[in-house]
């Protein structure tokens, strides 16, 4: 299971290759990661084991509920494999990079079982909207049901 944390910034090149920080992904980088459309405008990237766990979670969703079914469809429509090249760069299809405004400086943000890719400007806007309520957010936390 992944254990991703921290904030890293990297430059995505013109061929949509993104260097992966060793402190984020470890020394034994897999040949590929798997991605789903994330929340709040990011791209969520998973190692294979955690991606399979996420797919299993989606299998348990009540597909008879139209809103839940719509989420499952939208999530799976966005699912893709992202290869890692021989230089440790994540290779992102151009249409996916464009859809998530991934150009220039990219924020890689650890999110426990996955990491998120954010356009730097998008992440800065997200931070600005929530940073001042950090303590309030902390008091609203509860443990999720398994």
Question: Residue 20: CB partners within 8 Å, gap ≥ 6?
Answer: 10, 29, 84, 88, 89, 90, 108
Per-residue pLDDT, 27: 85
Q: How far apart, in Å, are the Cα atoms of 100 and each of 22, 48, 90, 123?
A: 23, 22, 15, 11
pTM of the model: 0.90
Per-residue pLDDT, 5: 95
At which residue do the structure tokens 């991934």 appear? 102
Residue 47, both tokens = 């190692």
pLDDT, tens digit (0-9, with 9 covering 90-100), for 30-89: 999 999 999 999 999 999 999 999 999 999 999 999 999 999 999 999 999 999 999 999
Residues found in the chain: 146
């Amino acid at each position: 299971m992944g254990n991703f944390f921290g904030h890293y910034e990297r430059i995505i090149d013109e061929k949509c290759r993104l260097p992966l920080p060793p402190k984020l992904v470890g020394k034994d980088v897999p040949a590929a990661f798997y991605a789903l459309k994330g929340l709040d405008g990011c791209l969520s990237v998973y190692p294979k084991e955690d991606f399979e766990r996420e797919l299993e979670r989606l299998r348990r969703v009540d597909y008879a509920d139209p809103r839940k079914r719509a989420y499952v469809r939208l999530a799976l429509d966005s699912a893709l494999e992202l290869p890692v090249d021989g230089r440790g760069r994540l290779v992102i299809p151009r249409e996916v990079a464009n859809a998530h405004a991934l150009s220039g400086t990219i924020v890689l943000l650890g999110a426990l079982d996955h990491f998120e890719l954010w356009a730097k400007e998008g992440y800065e806007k997200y931070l600005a909207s929530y940073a001042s309520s950090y303590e309030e957010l902390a008091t609203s936390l509860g443990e999720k049901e398994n």
